[in-house]
Amino acid sequence: MTSAPLAARLRVPSGPLFFPVTAYGPGGTVDPDVCRAHVRRGVEAGAAAVFACCGTGEFHALTPEEFQVCVRAAVEAAEGRVPVLAGTGYGTALAVRHAVLAEEAGADGLLVMPPYLVVPGQEGLLRHYREVAAATALPVIVYQRDNAVLTPRTVVGLARTDGIIGFKDGLGDLDLMQRIVSAVRTEAPDGFLYFNGLPTAEQTQLAYRGIGVTLYSSAVFCFAPEIALAFHRALRDDDLATAHRLLDGFYRPFVELRSRGRGYAVSLVKAGVRLRGLDVGEVRSPLTEPAGEHVKQLALLIERGYALLEETAEETA
């Protein structure tokens, strides 16, 4: 585990937040060596943090034992250079179990995904996240999406809870997010973190930045780290010309391609990692692989994205 407080390390990241895929070998079992190689490449490419076994990492498809193997592999590959957070979820008991396993594996923090299946009320959600936060010494980020949609009052309660340091939004309701940011700003201690957690978050990050949400997850970093880094720098430097060039020429077409298949937010990203030379295997069921034609289109789009970086470099030389 890294020694500096996690919230301080995440507040002004040096690069994108990296959500690696989980690598499987030829027999379909977790391959920790390839997991380590994937994470190591991301850290060396400039990731500011690693979020292992989250949505992109197929948390839903891993046994608790496999989960711990993957988290430990990420911690080993990061070597303390950047913090490693682990996903956790399901019902409270299993979320607590995964939290303990992540702590034992050396993780620096947790991203708590929605509870399994049920649609709880606000009181139940608050209790759930507080029980997970109390189970370990690891700082917690709460992930809003699907069946876990929180009111501003509930998020204020989270922000006042020891061990809960941030809130990640995967819903995309900017009106709700503005009210959450406002409520926490006026009613809770300073320093609470917010993350844009929508799929391909770069596509919406300019809008999120406008309400004060400056942190975002990057699945594109898995297979095109230079593109993700260029976009991250453009936002940091307020270089809207570069940001718009990448949005128009790469991110929007990628989002449109991603929308052509169920589960492509994971399987298409994994195909992208394979296209870039690292065999991380296929996705596990119930997800399915992207159509061959879509993988070909992804390959062309990746080429286009790197061509855009070359054009930008030539113009600024």
Active site residues: 143, 168
Q: What is the distance between the alpha carbons of residues 128 and 315, in angstroms, rounded to a whole number?
A: 52
What does the angle CA 36 – CA 133 – CA 55 come to, to the nearest 5 degrees? 40
φ, ψ of residue 180 to 5 degrees: the values are -65, -50
User: Of 99, 116, 115, which Cα lies nearest the Cα of 107?
Assistant: 99
Angle formed by the axes of helices 292-316 and 225-236, to 10°?
50
Which structure tokens are listed for 30?
């977790």
Q: What is the distance between the alpha carbons of residues 232 and 98, in angstroms, rounded to a whole number?
A: 31
SS3 at position 22: coil
